[in-house]
Amino acid sequence: MSDLAQQAGDRRSWAGWRTVVWLGVVSLLVDLVYEGARSITGPFLASLGASALTVGLVTGAGEAAALGFRVFSGPAADRSGRYWWWMVTGYAMTAVCVPLMALAPALGGAGLAFGCAMVLLERTGKAVRSPAKSVLLAVAATDVGRGRGFGVHKALDQTGAFLGPLLVAAVVAVTTYQWAGLLVLAIPGAVALGVLAWMHRHVGDPKHEHVAAGAPLEALPRSFYVFAVSCSLITVGLMTFGVISFHLVHEQLVAAAVVPLVYAAAMGAEALASLGTGFAYDRVGGSTLVILPVIVAAVPLLVFTDTAWVAITGVLLWGAATGVQDSTVKALVADLVPRARLATAYGAFAAFQAVAALVGGGLAGLLYDVHRGLLVAVIGVAQGVALVLLVAVLVQRRRGRGERRGQG
């Protein structure tokens, strides 16, 4: 057998679950890095002199960067077909920027600006890799069920998100330095890049139809944009954990050293929710998602209380909602658009969420100090509108399927 034939056979053997699982392992390692860092971002920035508004704006802008730049990286990945290149570059940015945050306390007055810059660059790395990674995952999961594929991947992903805060908490507890908890995250980041290098020997880019530079791309369907607006309103309600952790410490509900443990519990809830709704999606379809805005509306009602166990319950619901938003939602996006436009669709979808994340982060940071009751009300109204739009998309999709069956 020729080397080319052997390579083709090897790559076919990596289809389906094998690719889904190993991409999940990479996400596990990288989530261990950036979720470990994110678990103490609020208190860490506060230790450098940040206010609640600053934390809200920086973490909100970070999520906006993680989402907004995908509008460029998605179409670029579709045009080039170099999905692996985009994915590895983004992962490398995270693996480097998180440990560098540990230098901030040693920079004196410039420490806060440097720390904020690393947060933004790390989040930008997520924007660089995410559309390409989602395409590779959607293609690999075609034969096993997209809901299951995205759900299992997210569960592995969240295993890292669960372990990362625990690792950071342990290091901070032993050393008493938050920067030490960030520095140790260089290890799993390096391992993740090594696994990617090994994987690329067996898994290549999916079959790609070249699009000439400057040539127009096929328009995305209207239902996709309605769904994007619905999920953007949901994202407005999903406040960044930076604001939530600020509240937990500010109101003395939990000690700063315990915040990573609370975050780890939320990541566990996120893994279970993504896995459960992923399997449900393959059985009952997009109607699985109607529970999402209801959960998001309940989060601020519980989080912004003065009772620790009630607030922690709200944090767990926040984690569950975040898991569904970042896994099962992507399965419906893949079902709404043509395969050749997947990276573009994920990029455009994320752009809507970027604006929402920035608005949500700033809104939460501002109204937290001004009027928390108003913050709860605004989020509730946004979720009501999101639910109406989501139902409209599901009804239209069901009608479209019925029409196609009738024509067949």
Residue 382 within any structural domain of the chain: yes
Between CA 398 and CA 408 the distance in angstroms is 15
- Report the pLDDT value the prediction gives residue 408, as an integer from 0 to 100: 52
Residue 244 within any structural domain of the chain: yes
Contact 323, 31 (CB under 8 A): no
Q: What are the pLDDT digits (tens) for 28-62?
A: 999 999 888 888 888 888 888 888 778 878 887 88
Directed axis angle between helix 259-284 and helix 17-38, to 10°? 150
Residue 2 within any structural domain of the chain: no
Give residue 139's pLDDT band: very low, low, confident or very high (50, 70, 90): confident
Residue 235: domain span? 8-205+220-407
Q: What are the pLDDT digits (tens) for 77-114?
A: 888 888 889 999 999 999 999 999 999 888 888 889 99
Give residue 403's pLDDT band: very low, low, confident or very high (50, 70, 90): low
Nearest C-alpha neighbor of 30 from the set 141, 115, 125: 125
Higher pLDDT, 276 or 2: 276
CATH of the domain at 150: 1.20.1250.20
Between CA 177 and CA 180 the distance in angstroms is 5
Q: Which residues contact residue 233 at a Cβ distance below 8 angstroms, ignoring those fewer than 6 apart?
A: 293, 356, 382, 383, 385, 386, 389
Q: What are the pLDDT digits (tens) for 183-192?
A: 999 999 999 9
Residue 341 within any structural domain of the chain: yes
Residue 212 within any structural domain of the chain: no
405 has pLDDT over 80: no
Residue 3 within any structural domain of the chain: no
Between CA 192 and CA 154 the distance in angstroms is 16
309 has pLDDT over 60: yes
How many structural domains compose the chain?
1
Cα dihedral 146→206→74→243 (10° resolution) = 40
Residue 214 within any structural domain of the chain: no
Residue 215 within any structural domain of the chain: no
Q: What are the pLDDT digits (tens) for 337-394?
A: 887 788 888 888 888 877 887 788 778 777 777 777 888 888 899 999 999 999 999 9
Average pLDDT over residues 205-219: 58
Give residue 218's pLDDT band: very low, low, confident or very high (50, 70, 90): low
2 has pLDDT over 80: no
Give residue 298's pLDDT band: very low, low, confident or very high (50, 70, 90): very high
